[in-house]
């Protein structure tokens, strides 16, 4: 299909006058200028519309630096002179009604700059986009989907997520599974994926799915983190309505849906947001603020109300129109620091002379205040990789206002420790204990994410030391420690069954491995951990409070053994964890405990979670000081042994 080139030249003319179409009123323009038009996507973009008795589509685009704007598509042979748009007052917005147009029409905006160059741009507010490598926007109608997830939405609104069990399955939909068919590269559709993914998530015991790369993006290798269609679910897997079906179906199965969201930067593709109307519009004009040198991308101008409004309206769009349960904000640190990824001389200090991006800070406070104020249970998660303070505190407390923060520090320490030969772990014992010193400073999510299993970092199973069997044993004890550590949980797809090769967005996971004994055993073990997590509030109710965690022995570095207790408010179903990170049996292992009583074994490395009807071992503590505790009991702790006991 012949399309318009990225740029061309023509002689500019005076902007045409307009009587207005009655869609964008004075209040709309005022709120947009103030950065508070939270449903802006109902006004800008492309919408079914009836005007003077004729059905068609209404189009509107913000391009304040343009000399002229027109609409192009198959309907006018992509001719920039055929369908001019008209300015709306002095707002910088151009609008047009085209009768007769329906759903599925390809289109772009032809923007004439003041130098006479014509830029062919995709619609920033388009609800749908052409399948790659095409770059056109597509008219869509997202009205009329019959949601039947009201029970889920009501329950979500009445739940405090900080006090709830959250175990997240991070998924790249295009490589989770593939079909043996040529169309669309064998991708599962949203509707196909909904059923199989929900079945797997329910079987394993995850509470949420986190989807990478759903907003439209041109390059597969960006994994969806270089977005060109912020309001368009990627056409790789289907239509907007089909994505609604996906979310609705998972909700009916009791599964939450989180999307990765990228307000930090955008690519320079010719059809995208970069220099949208011939000048820096969505990005900072100064390249020292407006470009990421490491990524080759543009940085949003958070000081501009209209740009901030674009992003906030986009976040609310996913929450409202698609019933999304949460957004995981990518690369937050790159937004907060003016010198992120830059050398001396490549960045501009703020008005106080330091490296904080004051506009980005204000943007986050604004965004998160709006989301918090809705009180509908939606969450927003920061991928913030530094020690920035108060990320999850409210803006009223001078915090950024996020619900949760990814605990990147814990992840790096944990992985550095796990990769070590067991002999050297005793010299790095503090890597596993340090996280407890700050675990209450934020509302954390412990993550083992996609970023840790690509770019020659090895898959999770191949990070583990030792021979074949040792790798699985190491991963079991590592996951057990992760379960017991305060914080919500996230695993990337493939990590729960020991995917051997690094993640590759071009190919499916190696699902055949789940039929192999060691992989199946690991998968079943993770399933048991998640069962334990759901069943015992001690593992999530007091994540952000020191009352929820107690070390029994944090200093047994010579043997690389950790023991600790998790509690909830009732302190009636406490859990004692023991994790042995060496291949040495400790037949005479004795653990200190705070109470006399019975300690019931719930999970170990050999059997996993003990189900109803299984033969379960019970241990009685005696008055015998150990680990600084008044009572203790003996337990045969095997090599790479794990043990979780319940006591009251």
The pLDDT tens digits for 493-520 are 999 999 999 999 999 999 999 999 999 9
Q: Terminus-to-terminus CA distance in the chain, angstroms?
A: 70
Residue 157 lies in a domain: no
Rounded CA-CA distance 608/360 in Å is 46
Report the b/e string of 191-225 with b at 16+ CB within 10 A.
Answer: bbbbeebbebbeebbbbbbbbbbbbbbbebebbbb
Concatenated DSSP letters for 348-377?
Answer: ---TTSSSB-HHHHHHHHHHHHHHHHH-SS
Question: 449 pLDDT exceeds 80?
Answer: yes
- Where residue 183 falls among pLDDT bands split at 50, 70, 90? confident
User: What tens digit of pLDDT does each residue of 298-342 get?
Assistant: 999 999 999 999 999 999 999 999 999 999 999 999 999 999 999
Classified as helix, coil or strand, 104 is: coil
Residue 245 lies in a domain: yes
Task: Please check whether residue 572 is in contact with residue 648, taking contact to mean a CB–CB distance below 8 angstroms.
Answer: yes
Residue 336 lies in a domain: yes
Task: Count CB-CB contacts under 10 A for residue 226.
Answer: 23
Question: 14 pLDDT exceeds 50?
Answer: no
User: What tens digit of pLDDT does each residue of 133-153 get?
Assistant: 999 999 999 999 999 999 999
Classified as helix, coil or strand, 380 is: strand
- Where residue 8 falls among pLDDT bands split at 50, 70, 90? low
Question: 112 pLDDT exceeds 80?
Answer: yes
Same domain (yes/no): 366, 229: yes
Same domain (yes/no): 508, 559: no
**pTM of the shown model:** 0.95
Range 228-232 average pLDDT = 98
Q: What is the pLDDT of residue 9?
A: 53
- Number of domains forming the structure of the chain: 3
Classified as helix, coil or strand, 232 is: strand
Residue 622 lies in a domain: yes
Determine the structural domain holding residue 639 and report its residue range. 547-647
Range 411-423 average pLDDT = 98
| Pairing, β 404-406 against β 229-233 | unpaired
Indicate the residue among 520, 539, 558 that finishes a domain.
539
Q: Report the candidate in 40, 236, 240 with the shortest Cα–Cα distance to residue 144.
A: 240
- Encoding tokens for residue 352? 């106080």
Rounded CA-CA distance 204/94 in Å is 50
- Where residue 7 falls among pLDDT bands split at 50, 70, 90? low
Q: What is the pLDDT of residue 20?
A: 75
- 19: region left, alpha or beta (phi > 0 left; psi from -120 to 50 alpha): alpha
Instruction: Please indicate whether residue 523 or residue 17 has the higher confidence score (pLDDT).
Output: 523
Same domain (yes/no): 553, 532: no
Indicate the residue among 488, 508, 539 that finishes a domain.
539
Question: 567 pLDDT exceeds 60?
Answer: yes
The 8 Å CB, 24+ separation contacts for 558-563 are: 558/426, 559/426, 559/584, 559/586, 560/422, 560/425, 560/426, 560/429, 561/586, 561/589, 561/637, 562/432, 562/433, 562/481, 563/591, 563/592, 563/627
- Where residue 628 falls among pLDDT bands split at 50, 70, 90? very high
Same domain (yes/no): 322, 223: yes
Question: 119 pLDDT exceeds 50?
Answer: yes
Q: What is the pLDDT of residue 325?
A: 98
Q: Which residues contact 438 (CB under 8 A, 6 or more apart)?
A: 409
Range 426-451 average pLDDT = 97
Please report, for the domain that includes residue 48, its CATH number: 2.60.40.10
Of 10-19, 29-38, 121-130, 542-551, least confident by mean pLDDT is 10-19
| 596 alpha carbon, distance to own chain's centre | 44
User: What tens digit of pLDDT does each residue of 87-111 get?
Assistant: 999 899 999 999 999 999 999 999 9
Same domain (yes/no): 213, 323: yes
Q: What is the pLDDT of residue 17?
A: 41
Same domain (yes/no): 115, 176: no
Q: What is the set of active-site residues? A: 330, 383
Q: What is the pLDDT of residue 575?
A: 98
Question: 10 pLDDT exceeds 90?
Answer: no
Please report, for the domain that includes residue 599, its CATH number: 2.60.40.1180
Rounded CA-CA distance 349/372 in Å is 31
Same domain (yes/no): 534, 635: no
- Where residue 613 falls among pLDDT bands split at 50, 70, 90? confident
Q: Per DSSP, what are the bridge partners of residue 181?
A: none
User: What tens digit of pLDDT does each residue of 482-491 get?
Assistant: 999 999 999 9
Q: What is the pLDDT of residue 182?
A: 86
Please report, for the domain that includes residue 250, its CATH number: 3.20.20.80
Residue 102 lies in a domain: yes
Same domain (yes/no): 515, 578: no
- Encoding tokens for residue 428? 């790095």
Question: For the chain, what is the mean pLDDT?
Answer: 95
Indicate the residue among 492, 510, 539 that finishes a domain.
539
Same domain (yes/no): 452, 519: yes
Same domain (yes/no): 369, 400: yes
Residue 620 lies in a domain: yes
Same domain (yes/no): 529, 572: no
Residue 1 lies in a domain: no
Question: 18 pLDDT exceeds 50?
Answer: no
Q: What is the pLDDT of residue 633?
A: 98
Q: What is the pLDDT of residue 16?
A: 40
Range 64-71 average pLDDT = 98
Same domain (yes/no): 134, 181: no
Question: 267 pLDDT exceeds 60?
Answer: yes
Question: 566 pLDDT exceeds 90?
Answer: yes
Residue 625 lies in a domain: yes
- Encoding tokens for residue 368? 């998160």
């Amino acid at each position: 299909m012949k399309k318009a080139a990225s740029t061309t030249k023509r002689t500019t003319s005076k902007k045409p006058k307009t009587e207005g179409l009655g869609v964008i009123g004075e209040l709309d323009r005022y709120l947009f200028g103030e950065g508070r038009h939270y449903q802006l996507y109902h006004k800008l973009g492309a919408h079914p519309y009836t005007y003077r008795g004729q059905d068609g589509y209404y189009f509107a685009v913000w391009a304040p630096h343009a000399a002229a704007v027109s609409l192009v598509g198959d309907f006018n042979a992509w001719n920039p002179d055929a369908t001019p748009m008209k300015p709306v007052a002095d707002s910088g917005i151009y609008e047009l009604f085209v009768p007769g147009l329906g759903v599925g029409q390809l289109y772009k905006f032809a923007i004439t700059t003041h130098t006479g160059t014509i830029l062919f741009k995709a619609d920033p507010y388009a609800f749908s986009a052409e399948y790659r490598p095409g770059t056109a926007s597509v008219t869509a109608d997202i009205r009329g989907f019959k949601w039947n997830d009201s029970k889920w939405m009501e329950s979500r609104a009445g739940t405090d997520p900080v006090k709830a069990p959250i175990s997240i399955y991070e998924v790249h939909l295009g490589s989770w599974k593939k079909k043996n068919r040529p169309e669309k590269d064998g991708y599962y559709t949203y509707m196909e994926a909904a059923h199989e993914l929900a079945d797997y998530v329910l079987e394993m015991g995850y509470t949420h799915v986190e989807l990478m790369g759903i907003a439209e993006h041109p390059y597969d290798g960006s994994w969806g983190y270089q977005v060109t269609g912020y309001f368009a679910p990627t056409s790789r897997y289907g239509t907007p309505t089909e994505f609604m079906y996906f979310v609705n179906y998972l909700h009916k199965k009791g599964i939450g849906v989180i999307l990765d969201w990228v307000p930090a930067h955008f690519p320079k593709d010719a059809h995208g947001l970069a220099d949208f109307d011939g000048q820096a519009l969505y990005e900072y004009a100064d390249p020292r603020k407006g470009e990421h040198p490491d990524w080759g991308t543009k940085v949003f101008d958070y000081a501009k109300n209209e740009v901030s409004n674009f992003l906030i309206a986009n976040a609310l769009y996913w929450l409202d129109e698609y019933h999304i349960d949460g957004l995981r904000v990518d690369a937050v640190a790159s937004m907060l620091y003016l010198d992120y990824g830059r050398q001396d001389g490549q960045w501009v200090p703020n008005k106080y002379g330091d490296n904080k991006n004051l506009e980005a800070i204000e943007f986050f406070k604004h965004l998160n205040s709006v989301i918090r104020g809705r009180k509908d249970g939606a969450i927003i998660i920061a991928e913030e990789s530094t020690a920035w303070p108060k990320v999850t505190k409210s803006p009223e407390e001078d915090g950024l206002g996020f619900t949760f923060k990814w605990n990147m520090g814990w992840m790096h320490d944990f992985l550095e420790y796990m990769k070590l030969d067991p002999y050297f772990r005793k010299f790095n014992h503090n890597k596993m204990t340090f996280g407890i010193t700050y675990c209450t400073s934020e509302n954390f999510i412990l993550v083992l994410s996609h970023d840790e299993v690509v770019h020659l970092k090895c898959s999770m199973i191949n990070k583990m030391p030792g021979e074949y069997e040792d790798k699985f044993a190491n991963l079991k004890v590592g996951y057990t420690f992760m379960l017991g550590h305060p914080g919500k949980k996230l695993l990337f797809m493939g990590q729960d069954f020991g995917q051997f090769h690094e993640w590759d967005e071009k190919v499916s996971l190696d699902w055949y491995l789940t039929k192999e004994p060691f992989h199946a055993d690991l998968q079943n073990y993770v399933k048991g951990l998640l069962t334990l997590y759901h069943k015992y509030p001690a593992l999530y109710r007091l994540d952000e409070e020191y009352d929820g965690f107690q070390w029994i022995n944090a200093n047994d570095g010579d043997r690389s053994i950790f023991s600790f207790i998790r509690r909830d408010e009732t302190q009636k179903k406490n859990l004692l964890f023991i994790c042995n990170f060496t291949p040495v049996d400790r037949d005479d292992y004795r653990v200190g405990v705070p109470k006399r009583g019975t300690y019931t074994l719930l999970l170990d490395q050999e059997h996993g979670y003990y189900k109803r009807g299984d033969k379960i071992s019970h241990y009685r503590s005696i008055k015998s000081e150990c680990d600084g505790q008044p009572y203790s009991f003996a337990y045969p702790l095997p090599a790479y042994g794990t043990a979780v006991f319940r006591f009251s």
